[in-house]
Structures are given as C-alpha cells and as structure tokens.
Amino acid sequence: MGWLSDQVVLVTGGGSGLGRAVTERFVDEGASVGVLDIDEDRLETLESEFDDSVTTIVGDVTELADNERAVSETVDAFGKLDVFVGNAGVFDQNTALSELSGDQLEESFVELFNVNVLGYMMGAKAALPELLETDGRMVFTASQASFGSDGGGILYVPSKHAVAGLVRQLAFELAPSVRVNAVAPGFVPTDLSGTETLGGDRGVVSAEEFDPTNHPLEITPSAADYTGPYVLLASRENSRPMTGTIVRADLGRSVRGITEVSRSAVEYVTEDIDR
C-alpha cells in the first residue's frame, strides 16, 4: 500500500522530465494517473509502459477546453479526481531584458506566461468541480525562481513568482474544501522547452555540466529525487494540515552562503576536539 493508494491524479506536462518522474512515482505509490501533454509521442510511450494505471490526453494546457477534456477523460477512466498537479512549463533560456527587442518581449511574455501561469489557472478551473466532490488537492510546480532573482531570466523568474501568488490565493479561496500547495525544485536535469518566440530550443544545464558545489547539499539530483514532496502534498493523510505551503526542495540554495560558514565551524570544532 502506497501513500496514494486508490487516488486519482491528473498531471499536466507529465510526458517528460519532472512531470514524467512525478507520474512514475505516483503510479508506484498506488495512484491512477491521467496525463495531459502536448506531445503525442511521449504519451504513447507512457501508455505502453504503464498500461491501465495511466490514461493520456493530447492537448494544450493554455486551452480551457483541453483541460476540461483531460479532467473528463481521467474521470471517465478512473471514476473520480482527487488531485490536480499543474506542472507543464516553458523556459526563457536565462534571457535578459536587454537581449530582447520590443516585439520579442511582448510575444515571449504572452507565450511563456500563457503556459506557466494561465495554464495552471486553466487546469485549476477545469479540475475544481471534481476536486470539490472529493475534498481534493492541487499541487503546482513552483521553483527556486519563485523566491529569488536567479534560476531563469526576465520572463521565467516573474512567471514563477506569479505561481507562488497563485498558490496562496487559491489556498485562500478554496479552503476548507480543497488544499492548494506547491513544490519549488532547484536544479532539475531535464530538457525544459524554450519559448517558440525565442527559438523553441530545449535547454537546461545537464547533469554533467551542473556544479553541485554551488549548493550547500553538494549533490547532483535526478528528476526522481524531487518526487517525494509531490507525494507528500498529494497524500490526503499526510498533507492534512497543509494549504498555501510551498515546499522548497532547492538543494539548500535558499541558505546560500552558509556552506563556507558551516565548513569553518566544522573545522573549528574538529580542531578543538583534536586538541
């Protein structure tokens, strides 16, 4: 028996990267999972691997009709909806304001915020009627960029700040019936899509390029390493007192600067013990 036994979940952007890792972990924890993704090939691969535990829906998270269809098909397949996971996102390749023309700025802003913010709202809107029936949960993918000025560029970072506001507002509006929380990962070694207006290239630092010593925990994580907080927040029993919470899984980045202090302290204590 897993933490999500007999639970039904809908994950957006679940065909690759972090979303796929979350989907796989949820199935391992006993859930039945609907996956909404824009890439049909990824979804076919997912269905072939998980058989009856997963149902897939090809669609665009920025379209309310596609989100409603995803909810409907998930409920048709599994009988209810307990959890909505808003995860689909695009990246801005760390682009600075000075690098964008006026036209690029406007077009890229609309595209990125449509996916990263409006897409979450559309999914929440579509899932809400079913979640009210089950006293369900919403779990969103925030980011370390929801709290700081790094982790992206002039478009991505503000979009993830907006996600933090969305979580808090929805938690306020939907209490006590629906709990709304988020996970804020740090570095995730996945090929997050770029906006089409900036070339559409996939590009996040690979695990091989990542320098773990820049983070206090000094580990190079996999996408699967981040799935535990999603399980916690999706679990009815284990997240019962939590709403409006954003779990920061950022490799200790939020306490940057403490690494050298900690080492110095450890070295001092060790020397003192030796003496």
- pLDDT, tens digit, 9 for 90 and up, residues 136-158: 999 999 999 999 887 899 999 99
- pLDDT, tens digit, 9 for 90 and up, residues 158-213: 999 999 999 999 999 999 999 999 999 987 777 677 777 777 665 555 556 666 66
Query: Do the beta carbons of residue 127 and residue 10 sit within 8 Å?
Result: yes
Which residue of the set 156, 226, 230, 268 is catalytic? Answer: 156
Distances (CA, A) of 78 to 43, 100, 224: 18, 46, 25
Beta bridge partners of 91: 194
**Degrees (nearest 5) of the Cα angle 113, 118, 121?**
150
Task: Find the mean pLDDT for residues 9-34.
Answer: 97
Banded pLDDT at 3 (limits 50, 70, 90): very high
Please report the domains of the chain, with CATH numbers, ordered by start residue. Answer: 8-274 (3.40.50.720)
Percent of the chain clearing pLDDT 70 (strictly above): 85
Whether omega for the bond prior to residue 176 falls within 30 degrees of 0, making it cis, is yes
Task: Find the mean pLDDT for residues 16-33.
Answer: 97
DSSP class of residue 6? T
List all residues 6 or more positions away from 39 whose beta carbon is below 8 Å from its beta carbon: 15, 16, 58
Residue 258's pLDDT is 45
Banded pLDDT at 272 (limits 50, 70, 90): low
Picking from 112, 184, 121, the residue whose alpha carbon sits closest to that of residue 148 is 184
Cα–Cα distance for residue pair 86/61, rounded to 1 Å: 9
Distances (CA, A) of 264 to 211, 253, 260, 269: 21, 18, 6, 9
Q: Is 230 a catalytic residue?
A: no
